[in-house]
């Protein structure tokens, strides 16, 4: 009787351990044969699978089924995976998703269905994925998206739909209250001909900044051109990062494709705004440095509550009461720059939203802050003075150190006359002690004074100058003996070559 109780208790304990191991994904038998399992990661890449494996462990948080042959996602394919948050199904043959395929998989955050064979994105495909944040549908064959195919994804942040065959997109289904976190919508490399400018202008500013529309077959028109130019002035990354990829067809001809950011002559007659379709009026204000600048947010929205906020030229979001240092915002939507500086110049964007009517409007204010004339003149005068001093100093240094010596002389003169010392003889000699006598014309004697003696020149012979005193003269002998005491050489008479 005791043995039987112990055996039953041991069986129950063993069953409990096996159940716990199965739940934690530790059991070797819980991993499908064509997959690799590592804790909560399950990889079935290149497994030649034609459907989702039915025996996926419940502990799987990341499931990679890429590079297989899956054609359709059946109902309840992922219902037994409560921890699943990342699902990769890229490079398969998925063309349809059955209703209820993602039932009980509301925790899914990342879904990759790129490089498949989908043609239509139906309304029920992703409605059960309330927590989905990133959706990858690029490189499919999608020609149409139903109007409510993304309406239930309230946490969606990024949606990639490039490299498909879309001719239009339901922009009206994306509003700020329905997709408050959406920041990237990639519709590049599709087949769109015209853009619904009014619907795009109604998109939240966060969506417009991340709306990629390059490499489409757009027809060149003023409305399209004005909208992209408007985004360019705001430095939207969708424009700055893909500037050369923005093309349009002149008169709709596919062979006449132009890069409209480079070739602007086709749009010379277009206005800055597309006949008011963007509904973003602009106001210009000018002020001097140090003044206070008040910007009003003009809007046609009436009633309450209305929310206001501004975006500065440095892409800084400003809400009441402001940043408490340089910008102050009032309840009526006005924005004040307390002490404007030159670096505060730029385009300020005001956005007003009516929550009850689910409408929003924007207003632009172009602020230009400049220095006062006296400040600018004093600045220019100081700069000119500084520049003049620098130039003068450079000229002085050039005169002192870069003046060429036309006849370099040696320190010691040879005993016999030579062409070298003839050059020295025609120069004036500065000595600290005058000669002992005053013989010879043109000489003066002075006691205890430093005098510069100019040796007289007798004549020019063979195109060269000769000294009046010969080598045997006593004064010349004394001059040669005092050659080492020469300190500097000057000349008061021109040297005739």
C-alpha closest to that of 421 among 475, 490, 460, 471: 471
Q: What is the pLDDT of residue 286?
A: 83
Please work out, in degrees rounded to the nearest 5, the angle formed at the alpha carbon of residue 146 by the alpha carbons of 49 and 173: 125
Task: Please provide the average confidence, as pLDDT, over all residues in the chain.
Answer: 76
Helices (H), 24-67: none
Work out the pLDDT band at 60, boundaries 50, 70, 90: very high
Residue 84, pLDDT > 90, answer yes
Residue 120, pLDDT > 60, answer yes
Residue 275, pLDDT > 70, answer no
pLDDT per residue as tens digits for the range 196-241? 998 998 888 889 999 999 999 999 988 899 899 889 888 898 999 9
C-alpha closest to that of 178 among 212, 161, 201, 155: 155
Q: Say which residue, 109 or 221, is predicted with more confidence.
A: 109
As a whole number of angstroms, the distance between CA 359 and CA 274 comes to 21
* 295's tokens: 């910007």
Residue 45, pLDDT > 80, answer yes
Whether a cis peptide bond, with omega within 30° of 0, leads into 54 is: no
As a whole number of angstroms, the distance between CA 485 and CA 491 comes to 18
Highest mean pLDDT among 23-37, 86-100, 337-351, 445-459: 86-100
Cα 200 → chain centroid: 25
Percent of the chain with pLDDT over 90: 33
C-alpha closest to that of 466 among 431, 417, 430, 400: 417
Segment 154-175 shows an average pLDDT of 94
CA torsion, ordered 82, 88, 93, 96, to nearest 10 deg? 40
| Total number of residues shown for the chain | 497
As a whole number of angstroms, the distance between CA 308 and CA 318 comes to 9
Segment 480-491 shows an average pLDDT of 43
pLDDT per residue as tens digits for the range 383-439? 777 888 888 888 888 877 776 655 554 444 455 444 444 444 444 334 444 444 444
Q: What is the pLDDT of residue 121?
A: 96
Highest mean pLDDT among 71-80, 136-145, 480-489: 136-145
pLDDT per residue as tens digits for the range 237-272? 899 999 999 999 987 777 788 898 888 777 877 754
Segment 286-291 shows an average pLDDT of 86
Segment 308-325 shows an average pLDDT of 82
Domains of the chain: 30-267 (3.80.10.10), 282-373 (2.60.40.10), 419-490 (no CATH)
């Amino acid at each position: 009787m005791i043995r039987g109780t112990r055996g039953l208790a041991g069986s129950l304990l063993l069953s409990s351990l096996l159940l716990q191991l199965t739940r934690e994904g530790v059991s070797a038998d819980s991993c499908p044969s064509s997959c690799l399992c590592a804790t909560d990661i399950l990889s079935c890449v290149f497994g030649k699978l034609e459907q989702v494996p039915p025996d996926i462990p419940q502990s799987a948080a990341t499931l990679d089924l890429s590079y297989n042959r899956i054609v359709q996602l059946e109902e309840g394919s992922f219902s037994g995976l409560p921890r699943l948050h990342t699902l990769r199904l890229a490079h398969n043959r998925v063309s349809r998703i059955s209703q209820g395929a993602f039932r009980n998989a509301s925790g899914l955050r990342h879904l990759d269905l790129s490089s498949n064979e989908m043609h239509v994105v139906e309304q029920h495909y992703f409605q059960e994925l309330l927590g989905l944040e990133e959706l990858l549908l690029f490189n499919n064959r999608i020609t149409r998206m139903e109007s409510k195919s993304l309406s239930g994804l309230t946490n969606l942040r990024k949606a990639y739909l490039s490299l498909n065959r879309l001719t239009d997109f339901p922009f009206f289904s994306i509003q700020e209250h329905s997709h408050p976190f959406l920041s990237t919508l990639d519709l590049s490399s599709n087949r769109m001909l015209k853009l619904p400018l009014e619907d795009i202008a109604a998109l939240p500013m966060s969506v417009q900044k991340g709306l990629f529309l390059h490499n489409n077959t757009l027809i060149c028109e003023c409305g399209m051109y004005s909208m992209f130019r408007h985004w360019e002035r705001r430095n939207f990354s969708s424009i700055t990062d893909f500037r050369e990829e923005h093309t349009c067809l002149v008169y709709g001809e596919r062979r006449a494709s132009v890069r409209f950011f480079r070739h602007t002559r086709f749009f010379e007659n277009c206005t800055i705004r597309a006949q008011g379709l963007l509904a973003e009026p602009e106001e210009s204000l000018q002020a001097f440095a140090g003044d206070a600048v008040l910007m009003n947010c003009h809007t046609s929205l009436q009633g309450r509550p209305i929310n206001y906020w501004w975006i500065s030229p440095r892409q800084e979001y400003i809400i009441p009461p402001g940043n408490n240092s340089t910008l102050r915002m009032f309840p009526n939507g006005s924005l004040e720059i307390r002490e404007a500086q030159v670096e505060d110049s730029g385009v300020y964007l005001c956005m007003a939203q009516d929550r009850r009517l689910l409408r929003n409007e924007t207003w632009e204010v172009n602020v230009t802050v400049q220095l006062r004339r006296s400040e600018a003149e004093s600045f220019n005068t100081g700069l000119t003075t500084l520049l003049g001093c620098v130039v003068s100093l450079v000229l002085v240094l050039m005169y002192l150190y870069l003046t060429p010596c036309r006849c370099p002389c040696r320190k010691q003169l040879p005993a016999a006359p030579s062409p070298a010392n003839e050059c020295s003889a025609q120069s004036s000699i500065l000595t600290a002690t005058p000669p002992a006598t005053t013989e010879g014309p043109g000489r003066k004697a002075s006691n205890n004074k430093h005098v510069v003696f100019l040796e007289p020149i007798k004549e020019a012979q063979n195109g060269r100058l000769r000294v009046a005193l010969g080598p045997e003269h006593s004064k010349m002998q004394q001059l040669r003996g005092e050659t080492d005491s020469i300190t500097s050489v000057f000349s008061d008479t021109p040297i005739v070559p």
